[in-house]
Amino acid sequence: MSEPAIKTEPQRIIGRDKDMFLAEENPFEAMMERFDHAAQLLNLDPGLYKVLRNPEKQIIVSVPIVRDNGDVEVYTGYRVLYNTSRGPAKGGIRFDLNVTLEEVKALAAWMTWKCALVNIPFGGAKGGVVCDPSAMSMTELERVTRRYTSGIIETLGPDSDVPAPDVNTNERVMAWIMDTYSMHHRHTVTAVVTGKPIEMGGSLGRREATGRGCMIVTREALARLGMSLKGARIAVQGFGNVGSVSADLMAREGATVVAVSDKSGGVYDPKGLDVADLLRWAGERRHLSAYAKAEHITNEQLLVVDCDVLIPAATENVITRKNAPNIKAKVICEGANGPTTAAADKVLEEKGIFVIPDILANAGGVTVSYFEWVQDRGGYFWDLETVNRRLESIMERSFHEVLGLVDKHKVSTRIACYMLAVDRVAAMHRLRGMYA
Ligand code: GLU
């Protein structure tokens, strides 16, 4: 087999405890628990409550391809549209062995709340193919991408469902999706997907947007605690797109990055790691376990190192009721989707840790996806300064709207996020009424 087509993101074995899985780690249940709490506080009427607990559409497709050695392999692909009342479904596509329908449903719901929370005109969706891209060649990856795209093509479209990158997918994969869709429609449709290469209608700043959003809300959270990014000690779990850009941008603001990890393990230096050197290392597709210039720690140890800000930027369910009591950070910025279990929420709240929940913390990515979609549809492209300024204003506004609800209702930041988001989706349903 030739060189793997894609460098895989940290897998979810990170910090995972097998015994806890059934009790605590069903991502859809985790999402529902927070939704129920918010719905109760909002006094959501029973009919709407029922509607919003169910995904609108769930698609399961078979993805057969011929492998480079001539064998036929069949993968399973999912696309879930959770809710499209506020606009076209929006959300990433992940290629990962751990993808399940339950997970994709949860991630699609989180996209719904995320888009509503930052008030962009999209519904929520997610997709995934159960596969291991690190064991595929570039041509195999292309075949999986195109076959999956053709399998879900009826749902796709700039006005109906707009994918983007997620775990183990990137702008190369988005380019294939755009091409497959456009070939079927007999004309070029750039706005069908976001996170594309700049040369084909991608937005400046999209690749860094999730990490930039994390930096902005972390800065605001630290300010609320009377601290600043300058001198703050940061630990980052996951050194993929979100984790590495967050570490880089925070270091540029004067923070000291004391620990980072990827799926192979972590590195730690209380005096501060050389982030530029680590970025180079990861850029050469080398694992951190082979990095010689710092002390080695496990992913589980990284979560509990002495730091001011912890950024779980890998995957779901890494902060559990088991390790939450030992976390020393003052702020947790959830770069990943669903890194904290509902049971761990309570522990973090009791400890007084300031949590910036996933649907706020990592919303920078979909916000610049929205900008990309607007630019593609308008056929007029913005400079980087405009993209970053508009991102900053949306992230800051959303952060302070959430804080307003925290202060008003005396709820956690997570429940405040859900209240704001669910209320916006519910308002749209009330205005539209029930089609029958
Ligand atoms: N996959 C990213 C997320 O979870 C981005 C989605 C998008 O840009 O549509 O937010």
pLDDT of 232-248, one tens digit each?
999 999 999 999 999 99
Q: Which atom belonging to ligand 1 lies closest to the Cα atom of 92?
A: 1
Beta bridge partners of 164: 92
Q: State both tokens at 299.
A: 């992913």
Split at pLDDT 50, 70, 90, the class of 6 is low
Give the Cβ contact number of residue 341 at 10 Å: 26
Average pLDDT estimate for 296-320: 97
Give 84's contacts (C-beta < 8 A, 6+ positions apart).
Answer: 56, 123, 125, 160
Determine the distance separating the centroid of ligand 1 and the alpha carbon of 405, expressed in angstroms: 25
Give whole-number Cα distances, 372 to 160, 196, 198, 202, 261, in Å.
Answer: 16, 9, 10, 6, 30
Predicted model pTM: 0.94
Across 204-220, average pLDDT: 98
User: pLDDT, tens digit, for every residue of 309-356?
Assistant: 999 999 999 999 999 999 999 999 999 999 999 999 999 999 999 999
Number of helices and strands in the chain (H, E): 15, 12
Measured between alpha carbons, how far is 332 from 312 in angstroms, rounded to an integer? 8
Alpha helices in 304-412 (DSSP H): 342-351, 358-361, 363-378, 384-409
**pLDDT for 9:** 42
Residue spans of alpha helices (H) in 118-240: 138-151, 171-185, 206-224
Pick from 87, 95, 100: which is nearest to 162 by CA? 87
For residues 144-164, give the mean pLDDT.
Answer: 98
- 49 exposed, middle or buried (CB, 10 Å; 0-12, 13-18, 19+)? middle
Rounded to the nearest whole angstrom, what is the distance from the C-alpha of residue 170 to the centroid of ligand 1? 11
Whole-number pLDDT of residue 192: 98
CA distances 55 to 28, 58, 105, Å, are 11, 7, 7
From 105, 126, 196, 263, active-site residue: 126
Q: Mean pLDDT over residues 91-106, rounded? A: 97
Q: What is the mean pLDDT of residues 86-109?
A: 97
CA-closest residue to ligand 1 atom 8: 366
Task: Provide the pLDDT for residue 5.
Answer: 53
Which residues line the pocket of ligand 1, CB cutoff 6 A?
A: 90-92, 164, 166, 194, 337, 362, 365-366, 369
Percent of the chain with pLDDT over 90: 94
What are the strands of the beta sheet with 233-237, ordered from one edge?
295-297, 265-268, 256-262, 233-237, 309-312, 331-333, 354-356
Dihedral sign (CA 357, 114, 256, 297): positive
Provide the 10 A C-beta neighbour count for residue 273.
23
pLDDT tens for 245-270 read: 999 999 999 999 999 999 999 999 99
Q: Tell me the average pLDDT across 94-104.
A: 97
Whole-number Å distance, alpha carbon 294 to ligand 1 midpoint, is: 32
| Pair 424, 119: CB distance under 8 Å | yes
